Amino acid sequence: MFSLRNRRFHSNPALLYIQMFSKVFFFFYQKKLQNMGDKFVLLKQKNHPNIIPTYNDLINKSTEQILELYAKSKMALIFNGPYFSEPIQANTIPLIAYPELALTERPTEYSTAPYYLSFEELQYQKQLALFVKPEVEEFEIPLFKIVFNLDDVKTGKDILKLIDDNFDLPHSNGSTTSFWPSDTAQNIFQKARNENIKFCCQLEEKSLKLIKKRVDILKEINDTEYRYIEDLSVILDIYQPFLAKSSSFNASEMNTIFKDIPTIRNFHRNFSENIKEREQKYE
């Protein structure tokens, strides 16, 4: 009886096609997973180093499973990108919903990336965020973020008011070319998933003074960071090798003295790069 069923199965072209398709699909799916083995995912957490699992570590895990894996069950998992951020539902598999999370280069403990996941307080579970690009003639001003709940805004008019209120430089004639006042908030958010919303306005004289002050402060911070990084490099590149060759300290003492300095230097390098980027965007 078994052999008869087996012959009947293989004599059915439709079933044979399904079987062949399944094998081919499974083969390429396995190859894709192998190729993803060298990719990484960045998970950020406030006041702590980044968590950097491989892509395969999380490929089939839902939001709920990821939160449990890292003992964050009482927090929300947020997708962050260059255009928007949003909470991810408990039963969603983030790496399937957001394939751009796969990073080809491994981030450092304190660096960031264009696309990443973050652990946030539960209050963020219903909040959406859009990154708005100010369009001002005199300056290139950094993006700023507006946060809202779709239940609280209904139309483009509501969102434009939110943008206008959140732009912290004194200005007038706020407007946008990204949507119409009558557009629904849901449609605007869908559009904003692929491009930054633009906000046009005219800066007041007070704003120009504030921008100059910000540039000066950022420059001073960056100069201080540069000198500090140089000092750390001298310690690591000159003093550490010199002391290692001497008999002044044993291996355990050397480790105690120098073990954290590379991490500190990497953190300040990343911080300095971020400050430099902010400084340049006001010039």
Question: Angle 13-35/2-11 helices, nearest 10 degrees?
Answer: 80
Q: What is the pLDDT of residues 144-158, one digit of tens each?
A: 999 988 788 999 999
Quick check: 124 and 78 in contact, CB under 8 A? Answer: yes
**CA 58 – CA 81 distance, rounded (Å):** 18
Strand partners, 147: 129
Q: What is the DSSP letter of 139?
A: -
Report the alpha-carbon distance of residue 19 to residue 12 in Å, rounded: 11
Residue 23 has pLDDT above 90, yes or no: no
pLDDT computed for residue 5 by the predictor: 42
Lowest mean pLDDT among 35-44, 81-90, 149-158, 168-177: 35-44
Instruction: Report pLDDT digits (tens) over 55-91.
Output: 999 999 999 999 999 999 899 999 999 999 999 999 9
In this prediction, residue 149 carries a pLDDT of 85
Q: What is the pLDDT of residues 210-259, one digit of tens each?
A: 888 888 888 899 899 999 999 999 999 999 999 988 888 898 999 999 99
For residue 16, is pLDDT > 80?
Answer: no
Q: Alpha carbon of 79 to those of 65, 123, 268: distances in Å?
A: 15, 15, 25
Is the distance from CB of 177 to CB of 134 less than 8 angstroms?
Answer: no
* Spatial separation of the C-alpha atoms in residues 29 and 113, rounded to whole Å: 26
